[in-house]
Amino acid sequence: MTAELGHFALILALFMSILQSTVPLVGAQRRHCSWIALAQPTAILQFLLVALAFGCLVHVYLISDFSVVNVVSNSHTDKPLIYKISGVWGNHEGSLLLWVLILSMFGAAVAVFGGNLPPTLKARVLAVQAMVAVGFYLFMLFTSNPFERIFPPPLNGQGLNPLLQDPGLAFHPPMLYLGYVGFSMAFSFAIAALIEGRVDAAWARWVRPWTLAAWCFLTAGIALGSWWAYYELGWGGWWFWDPVENASFMPWLAGTALLHSATVAEKRDTLKGWTVLLAIITFSLSLLGTFLVRSGVLTSVHAFATDPTRGVFILVLLIIVIGGSLALYAWRGPQLTSTGLFQPVSREGALLFNNLVMTTAAAAVLLGTLYPLLLDALGGGKVSVGAPFFNAVFIPLMIPMIVAMAIGPFLHWKRSDVTPALLRLRLAFGAALLTGLLAFIAHQDGPVLGAIALALGVWLALGAVTELASRIRLFQIPLGDALRRVTRLPRASWGMTLGHLGLAVSIIGMAGAGAWTVESIQVMKPGDRVMISGYEFTFDGAKDSTGPNYSVVAGNFTVRRNGEHVTNLAAEKRIYAVSKQPTTEAAIHTTLAGDLYAVIGDPEGANGAYVTRLYFNPLVVWMWIGTLIMVFGGAISLTDRRHRVGAPKRSRADAAVQGA
C-alpha cells in the first residue's frame, strides 16, 4: 500500500511540475499576473509530493517490504538501521528519487524565500527548474520506478554491496547530490536570464549564494568520497581518476570557475556571457555526473546493453537539456552586453585567467573520461585512460594557476600593476623557495614534483595570509586598529581568504601523500617486526570474531618508535554474510606529520602468518583539513550580509563596487 501511495505521489508530482514549467513561463511572457503567481504554489506542492514519495520509499526499506523489487535487490533484514536508510539512495532508482527531492527542495526554497526577486524572473526560474524535474519524473516513471512490486516476494533481500555499508559512504551521495543539484539553481537563473535577455548585478547577486552553497556541498562530498576510498579500499590511495570520481570533479572545476566569474558579473558588470555559459556547463556536467555515478550507463557499455531503454532515455534527456540550453545561449547570448571594460592585468583579468584554466582542466578531465567511449565509436577498440594521462594534463595546468592564485587578490579592478603585488609577496616567495629546496634535499630519491607541490602550497598559504595582513594593514597602523579592522572585514572576503588557504593546505597534504608515501608488503608471523619511516610495527597475530552482519578477521599490530609505544592498530578483513564479499578495514593512526596505515590480507601457511601491507602516508590528513577549511570559508561567505539583504538596484551596485 505504501509503495502504491509513493508511486501515486510521484505521478502527481510529474503533473505538478508540468504545470509549473508551462503556465508561469507563458504568464511571464504575456504579463498575466495570476499565471505568474502559479509558480509559487506549484513549486511548493511539487516538493511536498516528492517528499511524500521519498518518505514512502524510506518506509518500505525500514519495514523490509520484500514485495518491492528495489528493497529486495538492495536490502536485507540483517542490515543495521542506518544502512537500511542509506540503502534507499544506494541504488539507481532510489538515488534518482533523492535527486528530484533535492531539486524540488531548491525550487521550493526559491518560491518561499525569493520574495525580493522580480516576479517575472522568479516565475521563469521556477519554470526552468520544473522542466528539468519533468525530465527526471518521466525517466523514473517509465524506466526506473523505485516502487515496482515483485510477485511472489522472496523471503529475504540480496543485501547492499558491503563496500557501501560504511558511514562515510552513507552520507557521500546526499552530499554530492546537494552539490550537483544545487548547480541547477545557477542553471535555472542562467536560462531565465537568457529568456529575459538581461543579466545585471541583481541577477549575479542572486546566483552567487546558490552556487556557493552547491560548491560547499560538492567540495564536502568529494572530500568524503576520497576519505572513504582512503580508509576502505585498503591501499592508501585517495584519488584514482576513475570515471566516478571524475564525474564529481568536473562540475567542481566548472563550478569554481562559475563562482569567480559571477563575482565579476556582480561587481563589474562584465563577463556576463561567460558567466551564463559557465552556469550551463556546470549543471550539464552535474547531469552527466549523476548518470555516470549512479546508472553506470556511460562508464560501462555492459550496463547499457542490459537495459537500452534507460540509455536512450538518458541520451535524449541530456541532448534536450544541454543542447537546448546551448542553442538558447547561441540565440540570445549575444544580447547580453557588458559595460565594464578592463585591462589584461587587473582583478578581472586574473579571474578570467582562473576561469580559462578551470574550464580547460574540466575539459581535459572530460576528454580523459569519455575518450574510451569516443575511441570505441571510431572503431579504435577498448582502452582505459588512467592516472598517467590525467597527471600529465592536469598538473601542468594547475602549477601556473596556483602561482597566479596568490597574486590575483592583490590586483585592483579595471587595471593594475603586478610589481607591487610581487613585492608584497617576497616573503611568501622566499619561504616557498626554501621549503621546496629543503624538501628536495630531504627526499632526493623521491619525485621532484613533490618538492614543487609543497613549495606551491606554502606560496599560496602565505600569499593568502599576506593578503589578509595587507587588507587589515597589519604593521602599517597600530596593532589594535589592525585587529579592529579584522572584525569589520566583509565575510565574503574571509570566504576568499579561507578558500585559498584551504586549497593551499590541501595541496601540502597531496604533495606529502602523493610523493613520499612509504609502502611495505610482506608475510608476517606473530612476533615479526617491520621498520617503516622510523616506526617499528610488530605483528601480534590475528583473531576471528563476528559483527552484526559479517564475520571478521582482525590483525593486531603494536607500533613503537625508538622503543616507545606509539599505538596499537587493529586492521580488519570483513566477510559479509549475504554476499560473501570481503572488504578491508584499514587500521589508521593519524598524526599531523603523517598516517600509520595497516592492512591485513590472506593467511599464509598454518602458523598464523598473514600477508600484511603497512604504509606511512606523510601529511595526508592535511588534505582533508584543507577541504574543511574551504567548506568553512564558503559557509562564512554565505552568511555575508549582502546575500541576505535584497539585491540592490543598478546604481547602488555601483556604489558597492567603489566601497569594495
Partner 1 sequence: MNRRVFFLIPLVVFLILTGYFAVGLTKDPKRLPSMLEGKPVPDFDLKPIKGRDNKGFASTDLKGSVALVNIFGSWCVACRAEHPFLMDLKESGAVTIHGIDWREEDPDAGAAWLKKHGDPYALVGDDPKSRAAIAFGVTGAPETFLVDAKGVIRHKIVGPLDKKIWENTVKPMIERLRKVGAS
**Residues of the shown chain interacting with partner 1 in the complex, contacts defined by CB under 8 A:** 154-159, 273, 277, 280-281, 300-302, 304-305, 311-312, 315, 318-319, 322-323, 326-327, 329-330, 333-334, 370, 373-374, 376-378, 382, 577-581
Q: Toward partner 1, which CB reaches closer, 116 or 546?
A: 546
Q: Which C-beta is closer to partner 1: that of 103 or that of 281? A: 281
| 335 vs 343, beta carbon nearer partner 1 | 335
CB of 281 to partner 1, least distance (A): 8
Grouping H, G, I as helix, E, B as strand and the rest as coil, residue 246 is helix
- Least Cα distance to 191 among 109, 275, 110 occurs for 275
CB of 338 to partner 1, least distance (A): 12
Angle between helix 491-515 and helix 620-638 axes, rounded to 10 deg: 170
Report how far apart, in Å, the C-alpha atoms of 344 and of each of 119, 348, 351, 385, 417 are: 38, 8, 10, 36, 10
Q: What's the closest the beta carbon of residue 308 comes to partner 1, in angstroms?
A: 8
Choose between 376 and 417: whose C-beta lies nearer to partner 1: 376
Q: How far is it, in rounded angstroms, from Cα 389 to Cα 373?
A: 16
Q: How far is the CB of 309 from partner 1 (least distance, A)?
A: 12
What cell does 516 get? 613520499
Residue 564: phi and psi, rounded to 5, are -95, 140
Q: Minimum CB separation from partner 1 for residue 412, in Å?
A: 28
> Can you name the residues that pair with 554 across neighbouring β-strands?
543, 572
Cβ-in-10-Å burial (0-12, 13-18, 19+) of 648 comes to middle
Query: 523: burial class by Cβ within 10 Å (0-12, 13-18, 19+)?
Result: middle
Q: Which residue, 367 or 403, is less far from partner 1 as judged by CB? A: 367
Decide whether 300 or 639 has the Cβ nearer to partner 1.
Answer: 300
* Nearest one of 405, 393, 419, 493 to 456, comparing CA atoms: 405
Choose between 273 and 409: whose C-beta lies nearer to partner 1: 273
Count the Cβ atoms, other than its own, within 10 Å of residue 101.
21
Residue number, 321 or 357, with CB nearest to partner 1: 321
Reduced to 3 states, what is the DSSP secondary structure of residue 614? strand
**Which amino acid makes up residue 374?**
L
Helical H runs in 197-242?
201-232
- Shortest Å, Cβ 337 to partner 1: 10
Which of residues 22 and 156 has its CB atom nearest to partner 1 in the complex? 156
| DSSP β-bridge partners for residue 594 | 591, 618
Exposed/middle/buried for residue 562 (C-beta within 10 Å: 0-12, 13-18, 19+) = exposed
Least distance between partner 1 and beta carbon 339 (Å): 16
Contact between 402 and 394 (Cβ < 8 Å): no
**Composition of the chain by helix, strand, coil, percent to 5:** 65, 10, 20
Nearer to partner 1, 120 or 359 (CB): 359
Nearer to partner 1, 175 or 191 (CB): 191
Least distance (Å) between residue 546 CB and partner 1: 12
326 vs 523 by CB, closer to partner 1: 326
Cis peptide before 648 (omega within 30 of 0): no
- Least CB distance to partner 1 at residue 376 (A): 5
DSSP state of 149: B
Q: How far is the CB of 326 from partner 1 (least distance, A)?
A: 4
Of 298, 293, 114, 327, residue with least CA distance to 221:
293
3-class state of residue 68 by DSSP: strand
